[in-house]
């Protein structure tokens, strides 16, 4: 076991993301057979891309506050909230607060 | 999305567990296709059963401190630690602190 901060935070290299870093905490390479645990950090004003894909997100908000935007509606969330993004749902996470937004986001490993 | 406290905490009904409650936050019934998110709360002195099973646990410690016991060795953990329990590993979570231990524990849905 390890503190999450011992895992390097890497910039999310997506031209439609802004000020988002990710730490891959539990991965397939580590022996996880089914799904991965990542921790995202978004500084104030930052956001992930508005996008969609055929897999789900299971999210737990650890620190801060933000909004989930589906292309039409922005729904606020904050620390200790749970977010389920179903497969093929459009989604974008934005930091709407004054501190760093941190959340866990788990995804299934890509299907072969 | 919802605050985790809006989901009822149920007693873990296992005769070898003590003072453990679980909230099922994201489930198959909710539409999650692959894995479930649960939040466990263990009061001081409480513990989950020492057991093993052919599926993994992906764990994030939200509050408190404790030890992970594998039948031989007790390894301490605390808030912000990440724990991966591989399939077929013996494991028991114990609260070794003075406050409630809270952690997320994600598991794959049972295979058919």
Tens-digit pLDDT profile for residues B79-93? 999 999 999 999 999
How many beta-carbon contacts under 8 Å exist across A and B?
94
The pLDDT of residue A6 is above 80? yes
Average pLDDT, chain B: 96
pLDDT > 90 fraction of chain B, expressed in percent and rounded: 93
Quote the CA–CA distance of B60 and B40 in Å, as a whole number: 10
Tokens of B56: 């993994």
Q: Which of B1, B81, B91 to substitute to test the interface with A, most A CBs within 10 Å? A: B1
Q: Which of A4, A77, A81 sits opposite B80 (nearest CB)?
A: A4
Q: Is the Cβ–Cβ distance between B67 and B96 less than 8 Å?
A: yes
Q: Do B34 and A34 touch (CB under 8 A)?
A: yes
The dihedrals phi and psi of A5, each to the nearest 5 degrees, come to -70, -10
Instruction: Label residue A46 exposed, middle or buried (CB < 10 Å: 0-12, 13-18, 19+).
Output: buried
Q: Do A80 and B5 touch (CB under 8 A)?
A: yes
- In this prediction the pTM is 0.96
Residue A84 to chain B, least CA–CA distance (Å): 7
DSSP character for A98?
Answer: S
Q: Do B106 and A81 touch (CB under 8 A)?
A: no
Q: Which of B5, B26, B70 to substitute to test the interface with A, most A CBs within 10 Å? A: B26
Q: Do A60 and B34 touch (CB under 8 A)?
A: no
Task: Give, in order, the Cα–Cα distances in Å from A60 to each of A80, B3, B92, B110.
Answer: 7, 9, 23, 22
Segment A74-84 shows an average pLDDT of 98
Name the pairing type of β-strands B2-3 and A65-69.
Answer: unpaired
Q: Which residue of chain A is at minimal alpha-carbon distance from B24?
A: A82
The pLDDT of residue A112 is above 80? no
């Amino acid at each position: 076991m390890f503190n999450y901060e011992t895992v390097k935070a890497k910039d999310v290299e997506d031209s439609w993301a802004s000020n988002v870093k990710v730490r891959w905490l539990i991965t397939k390479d580590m022996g996880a057979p089914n799904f991965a645990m990542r921790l995202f950090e978004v500084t104030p004003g930052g956001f992930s891309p508005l996008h969609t894909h055929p897999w789900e997100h299971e999210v737990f908000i650890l620190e801060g506050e933000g909004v989930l935007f589906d292309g039409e509606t922005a729904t606020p969330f904050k620390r200790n909230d749970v977010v389920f993004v179903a497969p093929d749902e459009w989604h974008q996470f934005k930091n709407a607060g004054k501190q760093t937004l941190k959340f866990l986001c788990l995804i299934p490993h890509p299907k072969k």
